[in-house]
Each structure stands twice: as C-alpha cells, then as structure tokens.
Structure 1
C-alpha cells in the first residue's frame, strides 16, 4: 500500500507551467468515443462552410474596394471663376442669326461671345456643311468675295462709310454692324454698300434653311447669372442688354410671306451637353434634352441650381466640379394681340450657385474592421449551425424513441 501511495505521489509531481495554462482551457474536448456523427450534421456542416466562404469573400471585396462617403460643408471660396461646357444643336436656326451672351448679377456681360465658342453650319439632317467651324460673330464669306474685298481694303485711298455711326472708316459689313451696335442702332444690311459687296443678304438667304451647332466653353464668375442663345447681335445701351433683331425679324417675315423654303425658323433645340465644371462620372440632367420648336417667338427657360462638388481620393488628390438640378419653363414672347413681342425669344439657361458644397471622400475599411467582420461571420455561422444541428438531432431522437415504443407511424 505504501508503494502504491508513493507511485501516486510520484505521478502527481509538482505542477508545471503548461499544467497551469491547461487549467484555463475553456474548450474542453470530449473523447472520440462520446461523439456521434449524423447525416444531418454533415449536411449542416457543408452548408455552413459554403456560407462562410461566400461571406468571407464578400467581406474581402468590401474591404478591398474603396467607397465614397458624402458630406455637406459650407463653400468658403471667394472670387472663383466657373467653367461652363456646352454643346447645343439648333436644327432650324441659321448660324448668322444666332448669338451667345452671358450676364450675371455683378453686372458683367459677355456680349456676342466669340472666344472659345464655335458654330458649325448643319443641314436639315444634322450633317455638317462647313468642314471647319467659324467663330461666332464672324460671317462666312466666299473665296471670290474675300479676294475682291482684300483688294479693296489694300487700296490706301478706300474708306468705307459707317453711315453716321462712327467718324472712322468701316471697310466691311461686320465693322458697320459693330459701329451700329456701339451706337445702339438697329442694323439693316439692305442698303449698306459693304454688305451688298460681301453678299451678306445672299449669304443670309442661303443659310435660311440651315441649322447651327454651337459648342465650346465659357468662363464666368461663380455667381448667379444666365447664358442665353438669342437672335441678332447684342450690345449694351443705357445700361441695358439689347439685341438687334432686324435680320431675324426680316427672315421670319419672309418665311411668313411665303418666300421661305423648307422648315420655318424656330428655336427648337437639343442639348447635347451642358456641364458646369470639369467632367464628372455622373450624367448631367440636361444632357439629351430635346425641344421641338413650333413658333419662332417661343422662349425656352431652364432654371438651374448649381451645387459645388469635391472629390477627395485616398492618394491625396482632389477634384472640384459641380452638379446641378434643373426645372424648365416654356412661354411665347408674342403679344396677346399678335402685333408684336413682349420679350426676347431664344433659349435661356439661368443658373444660381448654392452656398453648400458636397464633399465625396474616398475611404477604405481598416484591417481591424475586416478581421472583426470575418470573425463575426465565422462565429455567427457556426453558432447558428450548432443550434440547427442540435434541434435536428433532438427531433430525430424523439422520433426514433417513439418508433421504438411502437408509437411512430
């Protein structure tokens, strides 16, 4: 007996560090002899592994893919300029009768814009007539007429009359138009020598059944204002923005009297592109908008709310642009009695600037968040699977017990 006691004491021995650690094991393992494996348990386990794999892959994709977090801040920038990119087609409006103007609440005006804005003559099918776009405000002249006019201008003794609008010389139809504009006079090319020599009236008649594609960009103050496409040359008179619509009225009158051929002149249009700021990954609400014109006196107005948008990327780069919403209104500029016009026909884009800016910040999940998500997926799936397997096993035992007692069906 004493020998046995000595052998028991020797087996027990002093507790080691590993024995101490072993005492903290919260996951006690049953012997294999006490484990029961079932078909339902195998099915539940396979399904669990598939679900875990799918959800872990989903977690990894979400972790690896950056996302944009939007926030709203007050715009603090001052004295900024804004870029407007435009491309508009007028199928039934000759380029010679159409001008582009910009106005804003500061009083700044860009009349008959020619810088970075181009026009292309198009036929009724939308095909380009001119291979090279001519700048707005400069009327196309045939090659023969250009040579004749060049020879006349080279004559040092020639000084074309400005017809009382200027004391200097006006050696071209365009210079006479500009002199009239500075005076605020209506321009009639029918009796102007320079316009007759250049074939201005013939050119206008030639373009009567053409359309015009206007494209380019504008740089404006970042304040409320408008960009409008309207007939005739514009100028400022007595602090007012005025359009000389003589040619426009004359051409529409000729068509009304039966002299015109083809389609009537209208301000029907298609907005191919209208963007405020740099190119954006989203589609602007005006892109593709099309209006069929039926009356030459129709005024199309678009009221645009521009919201500054900034993208901040993970690499530290920043891109600033604008988004906008738009509403529209269509009305006739013709007087109720039909004897005149109460407004200016055309297409007007009236824009306002929001004081708020939307900031899209690119973010990515942290590694800790990814690991936590994976652990939650694995633990949650196997915990639920254990509950399901236990319930199925219990139900199966209950059924088997009833069969053994002769109570099963």
Structure 2
C-alpha cells in the first residue's frame, strides 16, 4: 500500500506544471504514485455522488494499470463535533456517535483479482440525529450529527476506474429530547420508595411472627 501513496517525483511535477512548450503533447503519468485528499464539500440534502478520479490535461492514463485502492482516515457528514461535546453527550446517551465515522481507518484494497478497470463504490445511507435539552422551559439543541451506514463493493468499469461515494439522506430523523424532572417529582419518588420499604418490612415482620406462633403451637402440641 505504501507504493500507492508515494508522492510523485518533483521532476515529474515540474515537467507537467511548468513546461508549456509542447502543450499538445501528453506525457505518461509516473508508474508509482498516489495522492492524499483532505477537505470538505458542501452539498444539498439530496442524493448525490462524490467521485474521485484521475484527470489531467498534461498526461495520458493507462486504465489497465490504474489501481483505486485507498485508505479512509476520516469521513463524516455535518459539522465537526469536538471531543468534549461528544463526551458530554455520551454520558447521557452511550450509544450515540458510534456511526458518524463508520469508515474511519478502513482500507479498501484491489488485489487485481477481477482484472483491470475496477471501480470501488461505497453506498452511504445517512440519518440525521439531533439531541434537544430543555432548560428554563426553553429548548436548546445540544448536538446535531449525521450517522450513516456503509456498504462497499468492487465493480468493473468501461472507462477510467474511480473511487465513488454514493450518499443518500434518509427522510426520517432521530430526535432525542431530554426532559428534566422537577423537585416535586423527586420528593414524590423518595416518598414512594420509603413507603415501599415500610410496606415490605411490615409484610416480612408479619410472616416472621406468624411463623414463630405456629412453631410454638406445634411444640405445645407435642408436649401434651
């Protein structure tokens, strides 16, 4: 995999970007090379595709030699959530945040078992999750994130192979609302617990005394 992410030699970059004397001649791309992609894309909340492919006006590509293997370091949707906020939310909802970066750290390697011109496709189903808390009778959005499920596959391509991310937002939304309890509700629960303890203690005391009374009667009957 190291050969896929090696930087292109400086000489090749200089020839491709600076030398414009023969603009009509296309030069072959370096045999060993790769790239690192980092950034963000603003899209509307409709189904779409994010396609990563090779394009150059100064090079020609041998598609039979192209390998679209890749490693995803981080892929998420929505605003970046700070670790402190996520930690605070997980105290209330432990299962939240498990799927907002499901593809992080995963490798997708094409070992050329299917031959050349292999496209790697990812299908992402995105669901919006929002946590709302009420403070002083007013609603406050604590966190808003997008979690997704992912399914990946390999497919033969008739053209230049690509790494394709097909994303689709679910029309449904997960809304989690935190409703704080009043002090009177706390007092009521405490009284209910105390009452339950006294009730159970009374039942056990009655059973204990009745058992002792029966045992005494049995002993008196034996003595007679």
Shared fold per TM-score greater than 0.5 = yes
When the two chains are superposed, the root-mean-square deviation of aligned CA atoms in Å is 3.2
Give me the whole-angstrom Cα distance separating, in 1, the residues matched to 2:104 and 2:186.
41
SS in structure 2 of the partner of residue 381 of structure 1: helix
Q: How much does 1:321 deviate?
A: 3.0
Matched, 1:246 2:70: no
SS in structure 1 of the partner of residue 205 of structure 2: helix
Q: How much does 1:294 deviate?
A: 0.9
**Alpha carbons 2:75, 2:104 under 8 Å: kept:** yes
Which of the residues 57, 66, 77 maps onto 1:276? Answer: 77
* Higher helix residue share: 1
Give me the whole-angstrom Cα distance separating, in 1, the residues matched to 2:49 and 2:190.
54
Give me the whole-angstrom Cα distance separating, in 2, the residues matched to 1:327 and 1:248.
28
Matched, 1:219 2:42: yes
Q: How much does 1:218 deviate?
A: 1.2
TM-score w.r.t. structure 1 length?
A: 0.42
Cα-to-partner distance string for 1:104-148 (whole Å, 9 max, x where unaligned): xxxxxxxxxxxxxxxxxx44xxxxx6xxxxxxxxx8745xx69xx
Higher-Rg structure is: 1
**Alpha carbons 1:305, 1:325 under 8 Å: kept:** yes
Cα-to-partner distance string for 1:180-202 (whole Å, 9 max, x where unaligned): xxxxxxxx523xxxxxxxxxx5x
Give me the whole-angstrom Cα distance separating, in 2, the residues matched to 1:377 and 1:233.
74
Aligned residue pair count: 196
SS in structure 1 of the partner of residue 181 of structure 2: coil
Q: How much does 1:383 deviate?
A: 0.2
SS in structure 1 of the partner of residue 39 of structure 2: strand
Which of the residues 297, 300, 323 maps onto 2:147? Answer: 323
Runs of 4+ deviating beyond 4 Å: 139-142, 159-162
Aligned to 1:306: 126
Give me the whole-angstrom Cα distance separating, in 1, the residues matched to 2:46 and 2:146.
13
Q: How much does 1:91 deviate?
A: 4.8
**Alpha carbons 2:63, 2:117 under 8 Å: kept:** no
Q: How much does 1:92 deviate?
A: 4.8
Give me the whole-angstrom Cα distance separating, in 2, the residues matched to 1:161 and 1:288.
42
Which of the residues 189, 204, 222 maps onto 1:388? Answer: 204
Give me the whole-angstrom Cα distance separating, in 1, the residues matched to 2:53 and 2:180.
49
Aligned CA distance change for structure 1 residues 393 and 276 (closer, same or farther; 3 Å):
same
**Alpha carbons 1:91, 1:269 under 8 Å: kept:** no
Give me the whole-angstrom Cα distance separating, in 2, the residues matched to 1:225 and 1:233.
24
Cα-to-partner distance string for 1:327-355 (whole Å, 9 max, x where unaligned): 2332223xxxxxxxx24422211011222
SS in structure 2 of the partner of residue 274 of structure 1: coil
Give me the whole-angstrom Cα distance separating, in 2, the residues matched to 1:399 and 1:325.
67
Give me the whole-angstrom Cα distance separating, in 2, the residues matched to 1:215 and 1:297.
25
